[in-house]
Amino acid sequence: MSNAFQGFDKRLNRISRKRARLVQGYTSKVGKDGLIVFRPSRRTSRGFPIKGFLFLAVSFFCFKGLLLAYLGEQTFTTRVDILATGSVVEQAGAFMMQVDPISQGIAQIVRPLVQ
């Protein structure tokens, strides 16, 4: 009789593990017999989020282009030069905010809309 209980315990343990994995995400599939089967979804690698980084970079260049179009190139450059004379953090910000071809191109596109 203990053999039957061991098999039952193994089945309960398998079901518990499967339920724990289903909590993290699952896919459902309808079999040929009409039975809906839920399977844990595969774990994706937790690598570097490339889409998020690209979105951040594009947003940054759009922000710079918008500022450049609104302030004008001369005023923008003057303010970046003032920023470059500050602390180390301000100097890093000035380096990031320098005028570049990408932000100039965006500024040319946005300039008619801003002014």
Tens digit of each residue's pLDDT (9 = 90 or more) over 23-77: 888 888 898 898 988 888 876 667 788 999 999 999 999 999 999 999 999 999 9
| pLDDT score of 52 | 92
Q: How does 61-81 read in b/e, with b if 16+ C-beta sit within 10 Å?
A: eeebbbbbbeeeeeebeeebe
Same domain, 56 and 103: yes
Same domain, 26 and 78: no
- Structural domain contains residue 59: yes
pTM over 0.75: no
Same domain, 35 and 54: no
Q: Where are the alpha helices (DSSP H) in the chain?
A: 2-23, 50-71, 73-84, 88-96, 101-114
Q: Give the domain extent around 16.
A: 2-40
- Structural domain contains residue 100: yes
